[in-house]
Copies of this chain bind each other. A is one copy, B any other.
């Protein structure tokens, strides 16, 4: 599949990671592009987030520089200076202004960046920019940390008979601190949109995708998603129907990408999808879905291939949503386990086999007659997750 027109990529190893794996990526727009961003809500946030909030949205955007292996978070004034240095070095290498550059960092917290290595890496990356699939892949590799594999999605959408091409890359969530991650995502399109429309599209897409996933629910200091629009397809998207169509296409891409994150959660043996319906509002459904997704008991039950409806139903009960317990219905992988607030007789071995045989587990909850609904995706919780997050040290 084609990549969107108007972008070049590169990914190189600059020596930030001890493993000598790729750790600097550049994503460059050939000419001024439109950018929008969505950032972590954490009050403790990295220098890069403060920078990006200041420079986006914009219609004069040119480049994203990403480093992995170091989050440059909780690093004080030196961290702020190093972040600015990353933007300035990138800007100088590309002959653009620093304010046309966004910075993404991910990795260890509280350690200063090896800024000389980063500067040299940016220089090397700028020399290797290309619009090839290989360069796109190199960039996707360079942003990863604990991910088992890079995460990319490519798609296209026909708008008024003309094709807009979409490419997106992301890295996994689930940890911060030493050996750590953050959720980063970048979506490129070659349609032309205003900054206002770009921000609106990204807000909608993120709300339906990256904001509906969790591994262990720990919000990072560095989470960021950016949307870049080059306009190089020549397709101008401005009327409401076209914007809706593009929004749907970008949302689909973001959902595909977002699901890869809990699917690749540390130690995960299942991707768990939680569908909730029947609440008064979508917000209430979301609250229930998040509460079920956050339950260590639900997650460990899935790990153990256990159709433990008691853990799921009781999590619904403490989600803080005013419900009638007699209207709760639960299906797991299509099997009805609980109906109208009462347990249903079922073949536990058969349901357990269904969980064990499939990587994806589907939890469907219907909790009343309202029109509210929500989806959420999470990892299960395994011995390997705890090992990975407790045994790396001392």
Contacts and interface: CB of A to CB of B under 8 A. Distances in A.
7 contacts: A44-B317, A44-B328, A75-B343, A216-B295, A217-B294, A221-B314, A383-B387
B43 A305 contact: no
Contacts of A39: none
A115 to B, nearest CB: 17
A385 interface: yes
A381 interface: yes
Interface string A356-393: 10000000000000000000000001110111011111
A394 B300 CA distance: 13
A328 B45 CA distance: 13
A313 B74 contact: yes
Given A175-B297, A218-B314, A310-B73, A386 B382 contact: yes
Contacts of A328: 44
A297 B389 contact: yes
A350 to B, nearest CB: 11
State how many copies of this chain the complex holds: 2
A295 to B, nearest CB: 5
A42 interface: yes
A219 B343 CA distance: 19
A308 interface: yes
A325 interface: yes
A392 B301 CA distance: 9
A161 to B, nearest CB: 45
A304 B216 contact: no
A157 interface: no
A210 to B, nearest CB: 15
Contacts of A301: 177, 389-390, 393
Contact of A386 (B42, B295, B323, B381): B381
Given A220-B314, A323-B43, A343-B110, A390 B386 contact: no
Interface of A: 41-45, 73-76, 108-110, 175-178, 180, 216-221, 294-297, 300-301, 303-306, 308-311, 313-318, 322-323, 325, 328, 338, 341-343, 349, 352, 356, 381-383, 385-387, 389-394
A44 B313 contact: yes
A354 to B, nearest CB: 11
Given A42-B317, A381-B390, 6 more contacts: A44-B317, A108-B310, A217-B296, A220-B314, A304-B391, A383-B390
A172 B110 CA distance: 37
Nearest to A381: B386
B393 A310 contact: no
Contacts of A221: 310, 314, 317
B297 A44 contact: no
Contact of A311 (B176, B318, B342): B176
B386 A303 contact: yes
A45 B45 CA distance: 40
A394 B304 contact: yes
B176 A297 contact: yes
A218 B175 contact: no
A224 to B, nearest CB: 15
Contacts of A315: 218
Nearest to A353: B394
Contacts of A216: 295-297
